[in-house]
Amino acid sequence: MDGETQNTLLVKIPKTWVIHSLRIVIFACILLLIRLEARTRKQTFSDEGNTPILLQHLEIFDGATTLGPASASSGLHPVLDQNQRVLGYLMATSPEADHLVGFSGPTNVIIAFDSDLKVTATEVAWSRDTREHVSEVNEASQFWMQFVGLSWQELAGMQDIDAVSGATLTSLTIAESIILRVGGDVPSLRFPEPMTVADIQSLYPDAQKLVPSKIYKPGWEVLDENITLLGFILSTSPESDDVVGYQGPTETLIAMTADATVSRIHVRKSFDNQPYVSYLNEDWSWPELFKDLTLDEVAHYDLEANGVEGVSGATFTSMAVARGVIRTAQRVHEKPLLSEGTKTNNWKLTSADYGTLGMIFCGVLIASTHLRGIGWLRVVYQFVLIGYVGFLNGDLLSLAMLVGWVQNGIPWNTAARLVVLVGIAFTLPVATKRNVYCTHLCPHGALQQLARNRLKFQFHPGKNLKRLLLLIPIGLLVWVIVVAMLALPFSLVDIEPFDAYLFRIAGWSAIAIAVLGLIASLFVPMAYCRFGCPTGVLLEYFRRTRQSDRLHSADAAAFALLILTISLYWA
C-alpha cells in the first residue's frame, strides 16, 4: 500500500463514522422529540396544578374574573368576580381519577358548582382516550345534563348513568371520574347488569337460584332446585375495572365449588377486542388457570413465577383477565399484596423468549459465517423462522411497536426477546455492514426470499420507476411521524404487514398489505422489501456501505424528517 492510499484511507475511515454518527444523531433526535411529545401529553396536572386549566373554564360563570386558591379539604377553587364575590366553584377530576381508563386513557373533567354547591356544568378539559369517542361524548348533551342540578352528595351517590351509545366505555369512565372526584364509591358503571342465573348456567348447569353470599362480598351463592349449595360466584367488577387488556376492561366471573376452591374463570362481558375475548372462554386450558386453588392461594398467585404467558393471540386480554382475578381475590381477603407493577418487575424468560433468542443467535451465525452459502440450511432456517418466529410467536419488528416503545417505555421485563431483536436489528447494520434483520431475522423477508424467482415472468422496474416507488416507504415514515407527534387516532399496525402473522387477530389492512406484497414479490423480486417497507428503509439507512463516506439523498430525506418532527413539536 503506497503512502497516497494510506492517506486516503486515513481520511475516509473517520468520514464514514462521522456521517454514520450524524445519521444516528438525526434518528435519536427524532425519537427524543416523539418521546418528549408523548411525555408532555401524559403529564398530569399534578406537575403544574390544575389552575391554568381551570382558568380556561372561567367563562362557565358570567362575570367571573379570577380563581381563588383551592380548599385544602375539598379541592374546590372559588370563582370570583371583579369585586371578589364568590360566583361558584370549579374543580377537576385529575389527578385523583387518572387511574380510571376508558379505551386508551383517562379524561380530566371540569366540574362547576354554583354557590349552593349544585352542579352547573361539566366539561372535558383534556382526554387521553380515543379522540372519536371523546368527541361523541362531548356532543351528547343529554349525557352531560344528567349531572346538572345535582348536589355534591347526589353526585357522589349516583348509581344509574345513561352512557353515550357508541362511546359507552369513555362516557362511563367520565361519569366514574366525576363520582370518584366528589368522594363517592365508584359503582360498577361499566358492568352494571345484575347477575342472573343465565349468566352462570354454563358454569353450573343445575343452578336455579342466586342469593347474595354471606361470606364473599360482593358475591353470590349458587343453589340448585333443592336449595343445595352448588358453589359461589364472584365478579371481578368493579375492583378490576381499571385493569385494561388490549383496549378495555373485562368482567370475569370466578366460579367456586361449595368447598371454596376455584373451579373455572369465565368472561361475562368485556370492552376488549371481541375476537381476543372469545378465545378466552373457548380456550381449553385458560378457564382452568386457577382450578382447585383457594381464594387465598389465588390472591398470592404469581403469574410470572408460574410461567403464565396468556392465551396465544390474545396475550394482553388474557393476562389482564388473570390480573383482574388475582386483584379481586386479594380484595376479598382484604390483604393487599404486592402491587401489579412490583410483581411484573421480575425479569423472567419464557419458553417463547428462549425460542426466539435461539433463532436470533442462529440467524446472526448464518448471516456472518460461511453457513449462509449452504442452500438447504438457509431454506430450513427460513421455514422455521416463518413458522415459529413469525406465525407462532409473532416476533416481528414494526414501526408501530417502536413508536409505542418510544412513547410509553421499553417493556424490558415482558418482551425481552423483542428488545434483543430490536437491538440486533439496529446495531449490526452499523457495526458489521450487514442488515441481518432483513436478510436473516424477518419472517416476512424470508417469505419473499422463498417466493423469489418462482415465476418465469419477472418485472424489473427501470431507474425512474424505482425512484418513484421508493417514495412509498418514505411517505409512510412521514405518516408515522405525523401520527406519533399529533397523537392521531390511527393504528400504525395498519400500514405494515407484520400484524398479519398473528392472523387470528390481524386487521384487514395488515393482511391485505402482507398478501399483496407477497403476490408482488412473485413478479418483482423482494417487491415489498424494496418498495414498500418503511422499517426496511430505516434499517438500510443505518447500514454502512462503500458509499457511507459521503452524504446522499437518504440523508437529505432523514434531515427533512427531522425538520418535520421539530416543526410538529414546536407547533
Footprint of ligand SF4 on this chain (CB under 6 A)? 438, 442, 444-445, 528-529, 533, 535-536
Q: In terms of CB distance, is 245 or 532 closer to ligand SF4?
A: 532
Minimum distance between the CB of residue 403 and ligand SF4, rounded to whole angstroms?
Answer: 15
The answer to whether 534 and 476 have CB atoms below 8 angstroms apart is: yes
Q: In terms of CB distance, is 122 or 382 closer to ligand SF4?
A: 382
Q: In terms of CB distance, is 108 or 535 closer to ligand SF4?
A: 535
Partners of 212 in the β-ladder: 220
Cell of 282: 373457548
The answer to whether 547 and 530 have CB atoms below 8 angstroms apart is: no
Cα Dmax for the chain: 102
Minimum distance between the CB of residue 557 and ligand SF4, rounded to whole angstroms?
Answer: 16
Q: In terms of CB distance, is 17 or 503 closer to ligand SF4?
A: 503
Minimum distance between the CB of residue 518 and ligand SF4, rounded to whole angstroms?
Answer: 10
Minimum distance between the CB of residue 536 and ligand SF4, rounded to whole angstroms?
Answer: 2
Q: In terms of CB distance, is 238 or 363 closer to ligand SF4?
A: 363
Minimum distance between the CB of residue 538 and ligand SF4, rounded to whole angstroms?
Answer: 9
Residues ≥6 apart with Cβ < 8 Å to 52: none
Of the candidates 40, 58, 10, the one whose C-alpha atom is nearest the C-alpha of residue 128 is: 40
Minimum distance between the CB of residue 424 and ligand SF4, rounded to whole angstroms?
Answer: 13
Q: In terms of CB distance, is 271 or 528 closer to ligand SF4?
A: 528
Minimum distance between the CB of residue 392 and ligand SF4, rounded to whole angstroms?
Answer: 17
Which 8-state DSSP code applies to residue 244?
-
Element holding 86 (H helix, E strand): strand 86-92
Q: Which residue is nearest to ligand SF4 (CB)?
A: 536
Whether residue 411 has a cis bond before it, omega within 30° of 0:
no
Q: Are strands 86-92 and 107-114 parallel, antiparallel or unpaired?
A: antiparallel
The answer to whether 169 and 272 have CB atoms below 8 angstroms apart is: no
Q: In terms of CB distance, is 248 or 473 closer to ligand SF4?
A: 473
Q: In terms of CB distance, is 155 or 527 closer to ligand SF4?
A: 527
Q: What is the rounded CA–CA span in Å between residue 343 and residue 334?
A: 18
Q: In terms of CB distance, is 219 or 532 closer to ligand SF4?
A: 532
Minimum distance between the CB of residue 370 and ligand SF4, rounded to whole angstroms?
Answer: 22
Q: What is the rounded CA–CA span in Å between residue 470 and residue 237?
A: 51
Minimum distance between the CB of residue 529 and ligand SF4, rounded to whole angstroms?
Answer: 3
Single-letter amino acid code for the residue at 217? K
Q: In terms of CB distance, is 163 or 401 closer to ligand SF4?
A: 401
Minimum distance between the CB of residue 438 and ligand SF4, rounded to whole angstroms?
Answer: 3
The answer to whether 313 and 279 have CB atoms below 8 angstroms apart is: yes
Which 8-state DSSP code applies to residue 393?
T
Of the candidates 541, 441, 537, 465, the one whose C-alpha atom is nearest the C-alpha of residue 496 is: 537
Q: In terms of CB distance, is 500 or 533 closer to ligand SF4?
A: 533
Q: What is the rounded CA–CA span in Å between residue 328 and residue 249?
A: 14
Q: In degrees to the nearest 10, what's the CA dihedral of 116, 122, 128, 133? A: 150
Minimum distance between the CB of residue 469 and ligand SF4, rounded to whole angstroms?
Answer: 13
Q: Vertex 348, ends 342 and 350: CA angle to 5°?
A: 130
Of the candidates 199, 216, 215, the one whose C-alpha atom is nearest the C-alpha of residue 207 is: 199
The answer to whether 499 and 493 have CB atoms below 8 angstroms apart is: yes
Q: In terms of CB distance, is 41 or 467 closer to ligand SF4?
A: 467
Q: What is the rounded CA–CA span in Å between residue 492 and residue 52?
A: 33
Minimum distance between the CB of residue 454 and ligand SF4, rounded to whole angstroms?
Answer: 17
Coil/strand/helix, residue 426: helix
The answer to whether 551 and 23 have CB atoms below 8 angstroms apart is: no
Q: What is the rounded CA–CA span in Å between residue 414 and residue 263?
A: 28
Q: In terms of CB distance, is 79 or 500 closer to ligand SF4?
A: 500
The answer to whether 247 and 275 have CB atoms below 8 angstroms apart is: no
Coil/strand/helix, residue 326: helix
Minimum distance between the CB of residue 537 and ligand SF4, rounded to whole angstroms?
Answer: 7
